[in-house]
Amino acid sequence: MRLPISDSDQFMPITHAPTIYLYRPTSSFSVASAIETLKNSLRQALVHFYPLAGRLHWTGDGGRLELECNSMGAQLYEAETDAKIDDFGDFRPTPELRALIPSVDYTSPIHELPLLLVQLTKLSWGGISLGVAISHIIVDGTSALHFIGEWARIARGETLDIEPFLDRTVLLAENPRRPPRFDHAEFSDAPLLIGESDDKEERKKETSVAMLHLSKEHVEKIKKMANDGGGGSDNIRGYSKYEAVAGHVWKCASKARKHEREQLTQLRTAVNIRNRMRPPLPQGYFGNAIVIAVATSPAGELVSRPLSYAAGRVREAIEMITDEYARSALDFVASQSNVGRFRSFHTAGAGCNQGFFYGNPNLAVTSWIGLPTHGTDFGWGKEIHMGPGTLGFDGKCFILSGRDEGGSVLVALKLQTHMEAFKKFFYQDI
């Protein structure tokens, strides 16, 4: 049985989003027992989340995809390594951490690629990891964590908390022949460095990754900086944690990259539209329900003006994503004769080699704040760390809540040789 996927799914990258869970189970823990628990509970979970057991297929021309619910299944691996949990330090998404997550051979035909791959790895000195790679065409972060959370509940012998809503036709375009009602910058190329005619050289440059910790006190100071002084939009309510921290990251990146004052720079972020649609999407909607918000500014404005300016630009971009805007974006995608040109075909692991590139002078900042990233217990206790398994390209950033539940934040970031300068500004400017 083949099913249409939504127009919000259609422009997602053909890649598998990798996440990692690390555990220190008790001495009575058994890998053999754990793998059986995972197998049995995964079988049960896929009965409810059956799209993950299917395969994608090309349909017609223009690079469109559809989902075949053929019960081909997910892949579950068992592995062992000499590495210890402590070897991964602050859990920045390095190649060594990525090795704990199954990889996908994208040279194979798309209809052969599993949509869900999982790897349980026994680490030295008693640690274990659970690496998950899940198709970004099929789910966004909200849906991925919904599935993983329900799978863990089943593994613990509990019933589902929220059944997935699987009808993706609710996010199909209403009128693809209607002219776009907005200027959809999210489907346009990002700014280039002044003097450059393309981004080929920027894609080739070496990068490094960092996992930066902001304490609750740091976060409160950043929010105070954003909410003090003029320069932003009409700030009747205080800037959110995400708006303030994303603005701070954006400002520090432009300083570290030493952009010219006139250099245009963009910050792109995925906005969850589940509660922005009218009516809201059904609870448990399973799929991609995001629209990309685009904030743009000359670098000189970011660097010279108070943080309220950068946070205000982020807020203005996010608040553009209304029901009307989202439906216009769906219409726009459906109207394209070649929707495939909007995708990045290989953003995981080897970098962003096709499609859009959001690196220097730009950033792609994804918020995991508020998502259920902590407390995933399959029966051997809660994880000591959960985070992204890789950062696909220069400028890619995740902002996620810290484990202390007291308001701290982790910032996972990939940058070119500007990383050390960025770190200096990141903490010095607070």
DSSP, residue by residue, 339-387: GGGG--S--SSS---SS----TT-EEEEE-TTS--S---SSS---SEEE
pLDDT at 354: 52
Task: Please list the pLDDT of the chain residue by residue as tens digits (430 residues).
Answer: 899 999 999 999 999 999 999 999 988 899 999 999 999 999 999 999 999 999 999 987 768 999 999 999 999 999 999 999 999 999 999 999 999 999 999 999 999 999 999 999 999 999 999 999 999 999 999 999 999 999 999 999 999 999 999 999 999 999 888 888 999 999 999 999 999 999 999 999 999 999 999 999 999 999 999 999 654 445 567 999 999 999 999 999 999 999 999 999 999 999 999 999 999 999 999 999 999 999 999 999 999 999 999 999 999 999 999 999 999 999 999 999 888 778 754 333 333 345 668 999 999 999 999 999 999 999 999 999 999 999 999 999 999 999 886 799 999 999 999 999 999 999 999 9
Name the residue with tokens 């070897």.
87
pLDDT at 235: 53
What is the CATH architecture of 2-171?
A: 2-Layer Sandwich (3.30)
Structure tokens given for 398 = 């995740």
- Active-site residue flag, 377: yes
Distances (CA, A) of 246 to 23, 262, 301, 379, 394: 29, 21, 16, 35, 16
pLDDT at 348: 36
**CA–CA distance, 323 with 292 (Å, rounded to integer):** 13
pLDDT at 178: 87
Helices (H) and strands (E) in the chain, counts: 11, 14
Phi, psi angles (nearest 5°) of residue 268: -110, 140
Among 16, 136, 259, 346, which one carries the catalytic annotation? 136
75-84 vs 116-124, strand pairing mode: parallel
Phi, psi angles (nearest 5°) of residue 302: -60, -45
pLDDT at 236: 61
Residue 282, preceding bond cis, omega within 30 degrees?
Answer: no
pLDDT at 229: 62
pLDDT at 405: 67
What residues does each domain of the chain span?
2-171, 185-428
Q: Do domains 2-171 and 185-428 have the same CATH topology?
A: yes
CATH topology of domain 185-428: Chloramphenicol Acetyltransferase (3.30.559)
Among 48, 184, 377, 429, which one carries the catalytic annotation? 377
Distances (CA, A) of 377 to 32, 34, 160: 17, 12, 14
